[in-house]
A and B are shown apart, each in its own frame.
Chain A
Amino acid sequence: GNSVTQMEGPVTLSEEAFLTINCTYTATGYPSLFWYVQYPGEGLQLLLKATKADDKGSNKGFEATYRKETTSFHLEKGSVQVSDSAVYFCALSSPDKLIFGTGTRLQVFP
C-alpha cells in the first residue's frame, strides 16, 4: 500500500542554517505530495504541495521537488528562523485521503 517515510527528529539547528528534511514515498499511480506544518498547540497547515513529477512546491522560503525517479519529496530551506520551529509532516494523496509520515520536529535556536 501507499506509505510515507520521513526522517526522525528532532532536527536542531542554529538560526540561518540550511535545512533538509528527507521524505520518501511508496505509491501506486500518480499521487500529489504535500508538506504540512504544525506549530505548538495547533492543527496542521499546508506548507506546500506538488501535483506531478518534477513540480517544485514553494512557500515562505521552503521548497520541495517531486522526484519520481527517487520517489522523494525532500523539504529544504536555505536559512531557517526561530519562528520555523514546528513539526513538519510529509504526506501523499491516496487519493481521497492523506497518508502521513511520522513527522519531524524542527528546533531552531538563536
Chain B
Amino acid sequence: GAVVSQHPSWVICKSGTSVKIECRSLDFQATTMFWYRQFPKQSLMLMATSNEGSKATYEQGVEKDKFLINHASLTLSTLTVTSAHPEDSSFYICSAPGQALNTEAFFGQGTRLTVV
C-alpha cells in the first residue's frame, strides 16, 4: 500500500518556540493531506486539510495563525505549531487520502509533541 512518512516521531520544545512537523507521501503524489490531533482519550480531531498550491482549509475552532499548514509540493505537507504552549502538547497525525473516492486513507506514524 501507499506509504506516508511523518517526521519527527517525537519532539520536546520550550514554550514560545515553534515546531515544524513534516508529512511526506513516499511513493505517490498527494494533492491533499489531512492533519489530525489526537487527545489523551484517543479521539481524533481533524484540524485542517492541506491543498497543494492553495491555502489550507481549517476546521471550525482551529487557529490558523497558530497551526500553519503548507503544502509545498505534491509529496510534502508541513504543520508548524507557532509559539507553542503546554496545552499544545498532543499527538499529531497526518494522512493522505486514497487515489479514488471512498477508498482508505494512509497515515503517517504520528508526532508526539511535548511543550515544556
Interface size on B, residues (CB 8 A): 25
Closest 5 CB pairs of A and B: A43-B107, A103-B42, A93-B102, A32-B102, A44-B107
Question: What are the interface flags for A77-110 relative to B under an 8 Å C-beta threshold, 1 for contact and 0 otherwise?
Answer: 0000000000101000101111010110100000
Contact of B42 among A51, A95, A105 (CB under 8 A): A105
Known contacts A89-B44, A96-B97: A45-B49 contact under CB 8 Å: no
B binding-site residues for A, Cβ under 8 Å:
1, 4, 6, 32, 34, 41-44, 46, 49, 93, 95, 97, 101-110, 112
- Can you give 15 contacting A-B residue pairs, CB < 8 Å? A34-B104, A43-B93, A43-B108, A43-B109, A45-B107, A51-B102, A93-B103, A97-B49, A97-B97, A97-B105, A98-B97, A98-B104, A98-B105, A100-B43, A103-B44
